[in-house]
Structure 1
Amino acid sequence: MANSPSGESMIARVVRLLSVFPKYNRPLSVREIAEYASLPVTTTHRLLKELEAEDLVTRMTDGGWQHGTRLWEIASRNSPVQSLRDAALPPMEDLVAGLRVHLSLAILDRNEVLYIERMTPNDYTVNIISVAGRLPAHATSAGLILHAFGSPDGRRLLLSRGLTKYTDTTLTEMQDLKDKLLRARHEGVVASTGAIIPESTGISVPVFGEGEYAIAALTAIVPIGQENLEVLVPQLRFAARAIRRRLGKTPDTDLGFVRETNPLPSDF
């Protein structure tokens, strides 16, 4: 694929251009897309016309541009993320109806938490999560539980970086993070109070695939002071097991915690 004078490939430029749209909930002009994607206007217009020919972007009647339906179609076919979301929807709907809490389903992607579903019963809880949105793993209960039950390489990457402190309770020191991950590994749950939003607590449990690696995190978000863990955690675990069964994974004993007979990975 031909490179630009800066050495950037055509694919990289197209991905950067397409990545602009989810950040703005409206069609964008060519100049806006060029500015947000840091591309020349002429290059942006040429790429948009080529993408339009394949229905990957669509030009609206007012002249603005947005994602095309074929982009959604391609992304949805045989997608493990879509399969995970489909499996999670009924258990999550039941949980929201019963507990009246905000719920989210997330996966780990490049040391960030990528949210693939979000359910909100009301507007009383501060919740900045959006579907297809990302948040830093170290500042979210979902990111911490996914790292606790994730790959050693992912944990090493997390612990090797300088981490942003968003609030007074955001964990940024290596030893604090290690202690939190180890506790999560033993208890099978992470509660992060005010770590990214001062008013809210995230409570996350892992959704397991085969074995003891988490493929997703199921999270309840509640106002600080309303963290009824004795009620929330068993219900979250029950829903997580239901998601696992709906994905066709082999039933197992409750993997919401790691038994003492099962040794910890060497990096803990």
Structure 2
Amino acid sequence: MANSPSGDSVLDRLVRILGAFSAQHSALTVSALARRANVPRATAYRLVESMVSHGLLERRDNGEVAVGLGLWEIVNRSASANDLKTIAMPFMEDVNQVVQHSTQLSILVEDEVLVLERLSRPGHAVNAAGIAKRMPLHRTSMGMVLLAFSAPHVAEGFMQRHGTEIALYHQDFRRSLDHIRRNGYATFDGFIDEETTGAAAPILDNKNRALAAMGIVVPRESDQLPTAIAALRTAARGISRTLSNLPA
């Protein structure tokens, strides 16, 4: 694919344009996209028009563009993510029946938690997790579970890259991860929202490494937390067993 004078390829620019969208910026003008993606405006207009024609982006009545259904369809063809979500959904529904707030499924992507699925009830506690949203590893119970049950070099690398941010929330990060491994789950109060408690359990492979995490969010100091954690751990183990029985 042809490179620009700056050395980046068309694919590089396409990826940056798509990456410019976020939960806070779900629709943008082409000029704003060009700035956020660091792409020349003329090039951004040309690439956006091409992506709109293929359904990867859609144009709003006000002239802004947003992620299109075509891109959503492509993303949802991911076999591994679909297998995980399909298997996890009945277990998530059972947990959500117990919790009566919200339940989410996530994986580790780079240095963040990527939320794959979320179920919520009317009147649920405040929950910053949203489908396809990325969240900080060290500030979520899901992220801490994913780190605790990942290969040792994963957590060590994360600590080396983010030591300053980690210190704001954890006095002894390694001890926190050890505690999670011993207990088999993580729970933290008020890391994202002061009024809530998050808890998560790992979904493990045959080597006891985290494939994913299932989490819940309930009001802080909720008396249902022990029951919810028990249901969460049971569900996570059930998903782990089901995944281990899939054909290779």
Measure how far apart 1:165 and its partner are: 4.7
Residue 235 of structure 2 is aligned to residue 239 of structure 1: yes
Measure how far apart 1:92 and its partner are: 1.0
Greater Cα shift, 11-20 or 47-56: 47-56
Unpaired runs of 5+ residues, structure 1, are 252-268
Q: Contact 1:166–1:196 at 8 Å: present in 2 too? A: no
Q: Normalising by the residue count of structure 2, what TM-score does the alignment of the two structures yield?
A: 0.88
Residue 126 of structure 2 is aligned to residue 130 of structure 1: no
Aligned match for 1:185, one of 158, 181, 186:
181
Q: Call closer, same or farther: CA 1:153–1:238 in 2, change over 3 Å.
A: same
Counterpart position of 2:152? 152
Q: Normalising by the residue count of structure 1, what TM-score does the alignment of the two structures yield?
A: 0.82
Counterpart position of 1:262? none
Residue 15 of structure 2 is aligned to residue 19 of structure 1: no
Q: Call closer, same or farther: CA 1:159–1:165 in 2, change over 3 Å.
A: closer
**What are the Cα deviations for residues 12-39 of structure 1, in whole angstroms up to 9, with x where unaligned?**
2111111223435754322232233232
SS of equivalent to 2:86: helix
Residue 185 of structure 2 is aligned to residue 218 of structure 1: no
SS of equivalent to 1:23: coil
CA distance in 2, matches of 1:184, 1:166: 16
**What are the Cα deviations for residues 90-122 of structure 1, in whole angstroms up to 9, with x where unaligned?**
211122123313211111111211111112213
Query: Following superposition of structure 1 onto structure 2, how do residues 20-169 of structure 1 map, counting pairs within 5 Å?
Result: 20-24=20-24, 27-163=27-163, 165=165
The one-letter amino acid of 2:32's match is: E
Counterpart position of 1:266? none
Measure how far apart 1:8 and its partner are: 2.5
**What are the Cα deviations for residues 188-229 of structure 1, in whole angstroms up to 9, with x where unaligned?**
011111123222211111011223011111111112211644
Counterpart position of 2:8? 8
Q: Contact 1:108–1:114 at 8 Å: present in 2 too? A: yes
**What are the Cα deviations for residues 29-56 of structure 1, in whole angstroms up to 9, with x where unaligned?**
2223223323222111011122234332
Could you tell me the percent identity over the aligned residues? 34
Q: Contact 2:141–2:186 at 8 Å: present in 1 too? A: yes
SS of equivalent to 2:214: strand
The one-letter amino acid of 2:229's match is: V
Q: Call closer, same or farther: CA 1:102–1:227 in 2, change over 3 Å.
A: farther
Q: Contact 1:146–1:217 at 8 Å: present in 2 too? A: yes
Q: Contact 1:103–1:118 at 8 Å: present in 2 too? A: yes
SS of equivalent to 1:21: coil
Greater Cα shift, 145-154 or 18-27: 18-27
Q: Contact 1:140–1:202 at 8 Å: present in 2 too? A: yes
CA RMSD of aligned residues (A): 2.4
Counterpart position of 1:256? none
